[in-house]
Amino acid sequence: MVKMIKDSVAGYKEKPVDYLLFKQDMQSNSIAVMFPGRGYTAQAPLFHYSTGVFLKKGFDVLHVNYDYTSEESNSMSLDEHITQITEDVKAVMNRVLVSHSYENHTLIGKSIGTIALSSIVDRDELSKAKVVWLTPLLQLDTVFNKMNESLSSGLCIIGDRDPCYISERYEQLYTNENISCLLIPGTEHSLNYADNPIESIDVLKRVITEISKF
């Protein structure tokens, strides 16, 4: 049995940040933490099926359900938005990791969720975490540099039709012994083919399989 704990914590400017913790009936020493994109929520396919994979493996699973679709968030400068994400994620992680002790951590972020990843991978308790970077924002130095410099074991998955794909930066990551890289030709920022839904389902299966193996 899995128990769901839904709660919120004060984040940037004391505004609430929602989270959902799927907790195994028996105490687990492993947790997967998921950081969605702006329009790609934790209920979207990549996170939905990844959640199922980790629950089956006996992990607890944490969805950080921040919401950056408001007019206020959209009007922020990039620096302020990064500060917002950093403080929101820190608040949730502090709440959950303080109240639950885990030995193994897997972190998964997509799109702006990779900003969240870059803000927490240096935490002491996450030094041995496995980190999955889905469609990372390679155009942002703060994300790319953290991916390239982190000593954590990483998995990067991106498509070459993704506007965030930068071939020179991807090639640099590809040579990094700490990161396994998967480039899926023809896929966009949602890791879909724009005009082929059937083949897009095959991509989803491939990505979930890679995450499970990793």
Q: What b/e readout covers 162-173, taking b as 16+ CB neighbours within 10 angstroms?
A: bebbbeebbeeb
- The confidence score (pLDDT) of residue 1 equals 80
| 135 band by pLDDT with thresholds 50, 70 and 90 | very high
The CATH class of 2-213 is alpha beta
- The confidence score (pLDDT) of residue 3 equals 92
Contacts of 12 (CB under 8 A, 6+ apart): 83, 84, 87, 88
CA 19 – CA 41 distance, rounded (Å): 12
Closest CA to 214 of 150, 137, 156, 172: 156
Closest CA to 129 of 48, 35, 66, 205: 35
Place of tokens 């990549």: 46
Whether the model clears a pTM of 0.85, i.e. scores above it, the answer is yes
- Residue 91: CB atoms within 10 A of its CB come to 21
Report the pLDDT averaged over residues 37-52: 90
Report the range out of 50-54, 69-73, 193-197 with the highest average pLDDT: 50-54
pLDDT tens-digit profile of 155-168? 999 999 999 999 99
pLDDT of 73 higher than 80: no
Element containing residue 52 per DSSP (H, E):
helix 45-56
The full set of domain ranges for the chain reads 2-213
CA 120 – CA 125 distance, rounded (Å): 10
pLDDT of 176 higher than 80: yes
